[in-house]
Chain A
Amino acid sequence: MNLKIEKKNEIVIIYVKEERLDAHNSGDLKTEMQRLFEEGSKNILVDLHDVRFIDSSGLGALVSGFKNAISHHGNLKLSTLQTQVKSMFELTRLHRVFEIYTSTSEALDNF
């Protein structure tokens, strides 16, 4: 899976550079988030700007990352969701769980 990782002010930004986040590739994202938290990162922002499609496995990978953040006393937030992707969070009530920001910079200001 194509992930671009940057660090800004102690926040790790994972840019998911894929059109689909699904059962085929979401395991890679889950593993990467787990690795980052285990190596000591506390704050992760997952930027979904390029993701046009998410399925239940993609949502599950993000939930896994969120739970990892809690267990490591950190934070996991999301930014720049496309409309259809956002609607999947709403359908599964996950928009109440995640902090979701409309832009990367707004998300970075809220850690």
Chain B
Amino acid sequence: MDKREIEVDIKVPNQTRYLSLIGRIGEDIAKELDKYSGDRETLAYHINLVLTEAMVNAIKHANAGDPDKTVHIFINITDNELFIRVYDNGQGFDINAIPPPDFTQLEDRGRGIFLIRSLMDFVSYRKVCDGNVLEMRKRLH
């Protein structure tokens, strides 16, 4: 591991009460990025948000709300890139089948993946051996 690299690997129960814990960890990591030239408060918020959205996605859609399952989050951050992986062990879904929100319609739902796609440079969701992983990358320069 590079000297300037930070890695966080955490597993939490499949419950929304842990959203604030994960979001807070994401914000604290953003504040450690000494070399980041942009607005660190905004970056902190964005990391908090994508982690929250990805975790909710895993809890509600992928793991179907089963509180006995776990969500596994892996964050890797260097001077150049933020890389987040959120693993679930549920049925999964087709991320490409999720349409962008229709701004002319006022829907209660359907903005989570849109927010992730808006704030990150690369997003994918694919099957792995015992579940699925949502991968998100953001360039920091």
Contact = CB atoms under 8 A, between A and B. Distances in A.
A92 B106 CA distance: 11
B16 A22 contact: yes
A8 interface: no
B118 A91 contact: yes
Contact of A22 (B42, B52, B108, B115): B52
B53 to A, nearest CB: 6
Nearest to B116: A56
Interface in A54-111: 55-57, 59-61, 63-64, 66-67, 84, 87-88, 91-93, 97
B51 to A, nearest CB: 10
B106 A97 contact: yes
A23 interface: yes
| Dominant secondary structure at the B interface | helix
B141 interface: no
Given A23-B56, A56-B111, A56-B112, A63 B106 contact: yes
Given A20-B23, A22-B16, A63-B106, A57 B114 contact: no
A24 interface: yes
B20 A20 contact: yes
B45 A84 contact: yes
A66 B108 CA distance: 10
Most buried by B among A20, A55, A67: A55
Contacts of A66: 106
Nearest to B18: A24
Interface of B: 16-17, 19-20, 23, 41-42, 45, 48-49, 52-53, 56, 59-60, 101, 103, 106-109, 111-112, 114-115, 118
Given A22-B16, A60-B111, 4 more contacts: A22-B20, A24-B19, A55-B52, A63-B108
Interface of A: 19-20, 22-24, 53, 55-57, 59-61, 63-64, 66-67, 84, 87-88, 91-93, 97
